[in-house]
């Protein structure tokens, strides 16, 4: 199985900060990487597919980049509503696997 690693598990930042979340794959996944946002008690919400393709309706402050084994999710100006846990997921090969999540807290 492809292992997905997301350091750190928790990240604290202030409103307006630029936030970068990293996701590393244990082997090449090309650009078949998705990012999800999950708030307490809710299902994950797809933000980005194919490493950088923003889903319709997702604010433009969210952006994704990377290919191969290194990927990043960037929030260009953190907003209070962005407090959530963010997960990456590879779908290059089965079984699909998720990172352990990065919790973003607002200072």
Partner 1 sequence: QITLKESGPTLVKPTQTLTLTCTFSGFSLSTSEVAVSWIRQTPGKALEWLALIHWDDRERYSPSLQNRLTITKDTSKNQVVLIMTNMDPVDTATYYCAHRISYYGLDLWGQGTTVTVSS
Three-class SS of residue 82?
helix
Residues 21-50 that bind partner 1 (CB under 8 A): 32, 34-36, 43-46, 48-50
How far is the C-alpha of 73 from the C-alpha of 60, rounded, in Å? 12
From 1, 70, 81, 105, residue interacting with partner 1 (rule: CB under 8 A): 1
How far is the C-alpha of 76 from the C-alpha of 37, rounded, in Å? 15
How far is the C-alpha of 104 from the C-alpha of 84, rounded, in Å? 6
CB of 23 to partner 1, least distance (A): 13
Copy the structure tokens of residue 83: 């407090």
CB of 16 to partner 1, least distance (A): 27
How far is the C-alpha of 62 from the C-alpha of 59, rounded, in Å? 6
- 57 part of the interface to partner 1, by CB under 8 A: no
- 70 part of the interface to partner 1, by CB under 8 A: no
- 86 part of the interface to partner 1, by CB under 8 A: no
| Residues forming the site for partner 1 (CB under 8 A) | 1, 32, 34-36, 43-46, 48-50, 53, 55, 85, 87, 89, 91, 94-98, 100-101
């Amino acid at each position: 199985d492809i292992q997905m690693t997301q350091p750190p598990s928790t990240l604290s930042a202030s409103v307006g900060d630029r936030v970068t979340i990293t996701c590393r794959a244990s082997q090449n996944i090309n650009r078949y990487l998705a990012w999800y946002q999950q708030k307490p008690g809710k299902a994950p919400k797809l933000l980005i597919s194919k490493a950088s393709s923003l889903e319709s309706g997702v604010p433009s402050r969210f952006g994704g980049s990377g290919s191969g084994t290194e990927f990043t999710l960037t929030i260009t100006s953190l907003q209070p509503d962005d407090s959530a846990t963010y997960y990456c997921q590879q779908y290059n090969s089965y079984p699909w696997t998720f990172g352990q999540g990065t919790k973003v807290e607002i200072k």
